[in-house]
Structure 1
Amino acid sequence: MTVLSICIPTRNRQVYAMSAVRYMLACDRQDFEIILADNSDDAAPLAQFAADCNDQRLKLLPPEDQVLSMRANWERIIPESSAEWVSYIGDDDYLDPKLCEVIRVTRKVVPNVDAMTWGRLYFTWPDVRTGPELTKMPSGSHLVGIKKDDMMRKLFFWEKASDRPMCAFGVYHGAVKRSLMEDIRTTFNNEYFGHPIVDYDNICRTLMVAKGLVYFERPMSVFGACKESNTMGLRDEKVAEKLFKVFRNEMDKELEAANFPFPMELGLTAQIGHVIEAFKQEQGIEITAWEENFIKACARNCETHYSRKAFEARKSGYRQAIKEWRGKKALALFEPKFKYRPDIPPFIGFHNNELSFDMDIGGAESAAEYYNILGNMMFPIELLEGRL
């Protein structure tokens, strides 16, 4: 039985997708499949790659006659998959097929589980680093049952948010049971994904329908950032502007929520705010007492900048939007501080159950290599059932 469908939508970043797939197929497990949805301008590279792999676990969806939106490319994958569980990653990311074993063990102890997530790893591909970069690796390895009400507050009320809601239960770098994805489709307009920003849209939908949530502390995947990735837009304003222009040109649905005057270009917090507000408006959900937490998250979004100029520009933009949205009094809640201190050496070591270290550890050249190196430092998946 196929336990897991690993879904990889890609557009004109074939070399990164090939790297991830090649390492996944090196795994000797036979209970997973990879669905590679190619939305590239040139179909030849991935077609040749799939032919060379000659592995029944890999299924390639070729480009269609015209370029698909990101949402449409994600949407077409699930009907072509066959596994009991579904997980999506980016083409410059990596996911461990041993997640199948985690799912098997989890079902034994939490029979009603239908949505899972896990610890996070982050990898900036070497060709875009401008110098040494530090990263963190969670050290835990327990399966933790999560209360749905807690996640609802974290997502829709922005409770204890950083620059984004602290809720990661969705199909992107998470796993959702196929039956739950079908419930999402039938519940919400016959679509798996309803907003152009697909990851947070799916979190909203998953959380509304899910019955059993489980968090695995150990990382099972890597968020990659290559030079063409959307993540690079968080680092470089010029890159962000270019990427967002392309995204707008190719999207097939409305991006902004009504009566929410935060320009998408302001940053991640504004973008996620639009996704959640659009979902609430679409479903007729009316809640109060979330605005203060959101405004504080806007301040934290400003504080992610290392450049004083970029910090001030974003601060000014958010101030204007908040004033228009909730009036001048609301600005009392918006107090971002420029926190970057290049004179203070970054911390390397173990703190709060996380290990901080140089991302160049082991000289990894790809997200897959990076995961395999760090995998030698993490709890062995094969021992998970024995410790429960």
Structure 2
Amino acid sequence: MTLLSICIPVFGHSPGSQAAVIDSVRQMLGNARDDFQILIGDFSSDTEPLSRFASQQSDPRLTVMSPGPASGELAAAASKAACWNWMVPHTRGEWICLIEASDYADPDICAVLEATLKRVPQADALSWSRAGYVWPAARAGREIARIGTGSSLNLPQQKDMMQKLFYWADAGARPDCFFGAWHGAVRRELLERIRAAFSDVYFEQEAPETDSLCKTVLMAQCMVYWERPLSVQGLAGTPEHALPEAEARLEGFPFTTGMGNAAAIALSMERFKQRCGIELEGWEAGFIKACAHDCETATSGEEFHTRKAAYAQAITQWRGKKGLAGFKPEFRRNPKLPRFQGLKDQHLHFDMEMDRTASAAEFYRLINAMLFPVHLLDDKLA
């Protein structure tokens, strides 16, 4: 039985995407487990490299598929969501996980699912602490990784996750809620219920990551969160939900994706709420605080002030000057002082140059050696 399908869409507009996904998949296939599937959806203009790679591997756990001549049209003219929707019916796993070509996901997610289902058989959404990795070419200077060291398995309540997501409770630069098929695992049965409830598709909008998050939190019967990282998101120095500005505006909500992650995620959430007729009150203050936190993630004073000015203008247009009362970002970084490295608040901070890793797969191999062994989770919970 295939427990997990890891889906990786590959687009021609992603620089080095084919080389990146080959690097990740080669490491995944080094795992001895036989209960996972890797499905590569090749939407690039040249499908030969990945087809050749799959043929050379000759591994039944790896499948490379392409819509054929229409693949480029599907990726460019439709949306990322359309590509995700095309892939899901071709999977054979009981659980589905989606990552991008520059990312990495550990097939030992299967071990976590086994340990979870043994104790919580009704679980239908699994999330974990994913790590971020800035590719060497995208670094403006020293990048410090921040990796959680905890290994507790938690069962958050749906009402708490809805507060964190839709009301931005305890949010940083984005909601403190990571459920969904993107860098998470969703049970097929839940995906089918989502499809039946929402326009007969699994994913919608230009940013299906947030779309999946909203739908999963609303419809999951039991969510499970493991503190340990099980995947790595490859970052190129741009907001993770960045969209063309022409596609990223919403009437009455003067934020754009170019402002940062908080704005980009909020735009997708507002579209989702409008689409479903969801009206909420009292979430605005949490979102405005998240905008301030987003400004504080800037790595330079120039970037900070540019982002702060853009957010301040949008908040004023949206809620007037009174909205700025909760918008008090501070640029705390001093470039003359070395950034903290070490263990603090159950997080390990270290230079991404460590071990000279050059990809998300190599970075995961490094942090995997530092953290609680995945295969010991079942014994720990016994």
TM-score range, shorter chain: over 0.9
Q: Which residue in the other structure is 2:33 paired with? A: 29
Matched letter for residue 2 of structure 1: T
Residue in 2 aligned with 1:11?
A: 11
Q: What CA distance in whole angstroms lies between the structure 1 residues aligned with 2:254 and 2:278?
A: 19
| 1:88 shift after superposition | 0.8
1:76 is aligned to 86
Deviation at 1:244, TM superposition (A): 4.1
**Equivalent position amino acid for 1:299 in 2:** A
CA deviation after TM superposition for structure 1 residue 36, in Å: 0.3
- Aligned-pair identity in percent equals 42
Q: Is the contact between residue 40 and residue 63 of structure 1 (CA under 8 Å) also seen in structure 2?
A: no
Counterpart for residue 170 of structure 1? 180
**Aligned residue-pair number:** 371
Aligned equivalent of 1:99, options 94, 109, 119: 109
> Are residues 363 and 311 of structure 1, via their aligned partners in 2, closer, same or farther at CA, if it must alter by over 3 Å?
closer
Paired residues of 2:239 and 2:258 also in contact (CA < 8 A): no
Matched, 1:374 2:371: no
Output the amino acid matched with 2:310.
Answer: G
Structure 1 residue 109 displacement after superposition: 1.0
Q: For 1:148 and 1:29, how far apart are their aligned partners in 2?
A: 32
AA of the residue aligned to 1:109: R
TM-score normalized with structure 1 length: 0.91
TM-score norm. by structure 2 comes to 0.93
Q: 1:258 offset after TM fit, Å?
A: 3.5
- Aligned twin of 1:300: 293
Q: Pick from 226, 232, 237 the counterpart of residue 222 of structure 1.
A: 232
- Give 2:51's aligned amino acid: A
Secondary structure of the residue aligned to 2:8 is strand
1:138 is matched with 148
Q: Which residue of 2 aligns with 1:195?
A: 205
Matching of residues 123-272 of structure 1 within 5 Å: 123-225=133-235, 231-234=236-239, 244-245=243-244, 255-272=248-265
Give, as a single letter, the amino acid of the residue that structure 1 aligns with 2:180.
Answer: G
| Structure 1 CA distance for aligned equivalents of residues 294 and 252 of structure 2 | 21
Q: Partners of 1:142 and 1:337 in 2: how far apart?
A: 33
Please say if residues 47 and 62 of structure 1, whose CA atoms lie closer than 8 Å, have aligned partners that are also in contact. Answer: no
For residue 4 of structure 1, what is the amino acid of its counterpart? L
Q: Helix, strand or coil for the counterpart of 2:100?
A: coil
Distance 1:260 1:130, change over 3 A: closer
Are residue 350 (structure 1) and residue 343 (structure 2) matched? yes
User: How many Å apart are 1:84 and its aligned residue?
Assistant: 0.3
CA offsets, 1:152-195, max 9 Å, x none? 00100011111111100111111110100111111111111111
Structure 1 partner of 2:333:
340
- For residues 192 and 318 of structure 1, the distance between their equivalents in structure 2, rounded to whole angstroms, comes to 32
**In the alignment, what sits opposite 1:228?**
none
| Residue number in structure 2 paired with 1:251 | none
What is the SS of the residue equivalent to 2:115? helix
Q: Residues 244 and 288 from structure 1, CA distance in 2 versus in 1: closer, same or farther, beyond 3 angstroms?
A: closer
Runs of 4+ in 1 over 6 A off after TM superposition: none
Q: How far has the Cα of 1:127 moved from its partner?
A: 3.2
Q: CA deviation at 1:340?
A: 2.1
Residues 10-38 of structure 1 show CA distances to partners (whole Å, capped at 9, x for unaligned) of 11310001111111111111100011011
Deviation at 1:85, TM superposition (A): 0.3
- What RMSD in Å do the two structures reach over aligned CA positions? 1.8
**Structure 2: runs of 5+ lacking an equivalent:** none
From the superposition, tell whether residues 326 and 127 of structure 1 become closer, same or farther in structure 2 (CA, over 3 Å).
closer
Output the amino acid matched with 1:357: F
Residue 40 (structure 1) aligned to one of 40, 44, 69: 44
